[in-house]
Amino acid sequence: MIDLVLIGLTRFLVGGQALWIGASPETRQRIYFANHASHLDTLLIWSALPRGLRAVTHPIAAADYWGKGRVRRHIALEVLNAVLIDRSTQGPPGAALAPLRGVLAEGESLVLFPEGTRGSERLPGPFKSGLYWLSQEFPEVELIPTYLDNPSRAFPKGTFLPVPISCTVRFGPPVARQTGEDKDDFLERARTAVAALASDPVG
Amino acid sequence: MSMAMSLSDKLFILFGGVCGLLVIASLIGFALSRRATSESGRATIDNLNARIKAWWVMIAIFAASFALGRGVTLVLFALTSFYTLREFVSLTPTRAADHLPLVAAFYLLLPLQYWLIAIDWYALFTILIPVYGFLLLPSLAALKGDAGEFLLRVSRIQWGLMLTVYCISHAPALLTLDIPGRPREGFLLLFFLITVAQFSDVMQYVFGKLIGRTKVAPAISPSKTVEGLIGGGLSAVAAGAGLWWITPFTPIEAAAMALAIVAMGFLGGLALSAVKRSMGVKDWGTMISGHGGVLDRMDSLSFAAPVFFHLTRYFFT
């Protein structure tokens, strides 16, 4: 019930039409990785997925935003199936990835924002290394670059209310792993795959 | 024929008539789709049929809102303004510094405009956006301290609001007009306006496809032709004159009113084509299959509504 209300609100305010450009909506195990511009991003990707995929796909959400307050926390955990991670974790590299590994080990999919924080540019900034480690540890999982068009205009960083501006969610062709590729090269290639979806004739 | 019929009788006849026309159009569309052989011919027929289907939906929405009364009709138009403003802003390059003016446009000025119409505050709803919006939006934008393309950015938002909220709201504002001896007949004026404006669009499209040769403004819109304008315009004026019995107008006056609606509608379509072209797009959106965006169907109404509203108000109330 709440999920329908959330999807309805998202459609009414910002549309969020899904465009499957190089991948189709199938129930394969995947990591969708996207540019990050607003607090709408998690909702946008979640509501762009067909119902069947939504149930087995877990967005990664920052605990310092989605974990705050009972309502937001409930929506994040119970409705969006989100995995909350604490961005301030200090510890050995990759320790924060533990809950993500758990999801992948169970055969389910993830939505990641590898920039780690919201940007205000059209194109994504440098990616953090989490995507690389996960892609190495789970070589069977398909890596789907995802571009969110417009959320940085609809709900810019530092504002309290989204305005109605149509956003689209574009799913691109899977990024293949290349043997022997070094971490930074892989991350840059993944970033370019997301950025390539930005130059769509529609928008 | 005029005075004896009640309002609901007239509306019943009108919607029945429109449904009849759509049945005929649907049958023709179906027959054509079975006969079309060439690739381009089929594309044209498919587009025609998509338009006809969308018309059925629009008529159903209008009939429901008329039946449910003035409040629902106002909400329907407010939603239309909301959606067309969303289409407009989505295609207009705005930046983070425009957020506050956009919040004011969507969440303050839009509802306020329709609320002022609902409480019939004529003196304020006619100046809210042209005066107070004009003062408020640049002030809010300036508070953000981003001077880049300032005039351009402020103008775009003001223009979008004028087009999609101010102008379109003058259509349901017809419901507030008190015409002597004709209580609650604003619905009929609204029906007259929408029917003439949309019929003119459709007939211009049909005549343009059939006999269109001379382009009016090839650099702005390749589909607008002199033949389409004359054929479609005359059909719509004739239809308007034929509807005189639902209005306070004589047949001649009804024809003149229809002519004003046709002229403004044509200019609206042309001006909006130029706007779209300057933005490098063909349609405002993908909301209605076969029609592009909602604003693609509302451009003529947006330009015609304020003119029809004021002509009626000055001469007939």
* Whole-number Å distance between alpha carbons of A109 and A123: 24
Q: Which amino acid, B111?
A: P
| Token representation of residue B125 | 């709803």
Element (H, E) at A8: helix A2-14
CA-nearest of A36, A186, A56, A53 to A123 is: A36
Residue B256 pLDDT exceeds 90: yes
Q: Domain for residue A33, yes or no?
A: yes
Q: In chain A, which residue's Cα lies nearest the Cα of B89? A: A165
Residue A10, domain member (yes or no)? no
Looking at A146-160, B44-58, B158-172, B198-212, which range is the least confident one? B44-58
Nearest to A195 by CA among A167, A170, A178, A168: A170
Q: Quick check: B285 contacting A, CB < 8 Å? A: yes
| CA-closest candidate to residue B158, choices B107, B100, B102 | B102
CB burial readout B7-33, b (16+ within 10 A) else e: eeebbeebbeebeebbeebeeebeebe
Model confidence pLDDT, tens digit, residues B153-194:
999 999 999 999 999 999 999 999 988 888 778 889 999 999
DSSP state string for chain B? --TTS-HHHHHHHHHHHHHHHHHHHHHHHHHHHHH--SHHHHHHHHHHHHHHHHHHHHHHHHHHHHHH-HHHHHHHHHHHHHHHHHHHHHHS---GGGHHHHHHIIIIIHHHHHHHHHTT-HHHHTTIIIIIIHHHHHHHHHHTT--TTHHHHHHHHHHHHIIIIIIHHTTGGGGG--BTTBTT-HHHHHHHHHHHHHHHHHHHHHHHHHH--SEEETTTEEEEEHHHHHHHHHHHHHHHHHTGGGSSS-HHHHHHHHHHHHHHHHHHHHHHHHHHHHHT-S-S-SSBTTTBSHHHHHHHHHHHHHHHHHHHHHHH-
Report residue B12 CA to chain centroid gap: 23
> pLDDT tier at A92 (50, 70, 90 boundaries)?
low
Dump pLDDT digits (tens) for B59-115: 888 888 888 889 999 999 999 999 999 999 998 888 888 999 999 999 999 999 999
Cβ contact A40:A162 at 8 Å: yes
Is residue B28 pLDDT above 80, yes or no? yes
Given pLDDT bands bounded at 50, 70 and 90, which one contains residue B4? low
Length in residues, chain A? 203
Report the distance separating Cα B286 and Cα B296, nearest Å.
10
Q: Does A156 reside within a domain?
A: yes
Give the chain A residue whose CA is nearest to the CA of B279: A203
Q: Does A201 touch chain B (CB under 8 A)?
A: no
Q: Is A8 inside a domain boundary?
A: no
What is the C-alpha separation between B212 and B229, in angstroms, rounded?
A: 9
Cα B119 to Cα B111: distance, rounded to the nearest angstrom: 12
Q: Quick check: A200 pLDDT over 60?
A: no
C-alpha–C-alpha distance, residues B264 and B284, integer Å: 20
A46-82: pLDDT as tens digits: 999 999 999 999 999 888 888 888 998 999 998 999 9
Q: Does residue A5 sit within a domain?
A: no
Residue B23 is predicted with a pLDDT of 92
Judge contact between A168 and A179, C-beta under 8 A.
no
- Nearest CB to A164 within list B86, B96, B99: B86
Q: What is the distance between the alpha carbons of residues A20 and A18, in angstroms, rounded to a whole number?
A: 6
Residues of A in contact with B285 (CB under 8 A): 166
CA–CA gap between residue B274 and residue A101 (Å, rounded): 53
Q: State which amino acid sits at residue B128.
A: L
A4 located within any domain = no
Chain A / chain B CB contacts < 8 angstroms: 37
Task: Say what the pLDDT of residue A202 is.
Answer: 42
| Range from A28-37, A113-122, B35-44 carrying the lowest mean pLDDT | B35-44
pLDDT digits (tens, 9 = 90+) for B111-126: 999 999 999 999 999 9
CA nearest to B107 within chain A: A163
8 Å CB contact between A122 and A174? no
DSSP result, A139-199: TTSEEEEEEEESHHHHS-TT-SS-----EEEEE-PPPPP-TT--HHHHHHHHHHHHHHTT-
| Total structural domains within chain A | 1
Among A120, A163, A166, the residue with its CB nearest the CB of B106 is A163
What confidence category does residue B33 fall into, taking pLDDT thresholds of 50, 70 and 90?
confident
Spacing of C-alpha B65 from chain mean position: 16
Q: Report pLDDT for A201.
A: 42
Among the partner residues A153, A158, A166, nearest to B94 by beta-carbon distance: A153
Residue with tokens 């138009």: B77
d(CA B104, CA B140): 9
Compute the C-alpha angle B141/B147/B149, nearest 5°: 95
Amino acid (1-letter code) at residue B304: A
Query: For residues B174 and B312, is the Cβ–Cβ distance under 8 A?
Result: yes
Q: What is the dihedral of CA A76, A81, A82, A83, to 10 degrees?
A: 130
**Where in the sequence is the domain holding A81, given as residue range(s)?**
16-196
Helix (H) or strand (E) holding A203: none
Establish if A184 belongs to a structural domain.
yes
Within-domain flag for A44: yes
Whether the CB-CB separation of A81 and A59 falls below 8 Å is answered with yes
What pLDDT, on a 0 to 100 scale, did the predictor assign at position A203?
Answer: 38
CB within 8 Å of chain B, chain A residues 29-88: none
Q: In the predicted model, is pLDDT for residue A110 greater than 90?
A: yes
Tens digits of per-residue pLDDT, B268-296? 999 999 999 888 887 887 665 556 788 98
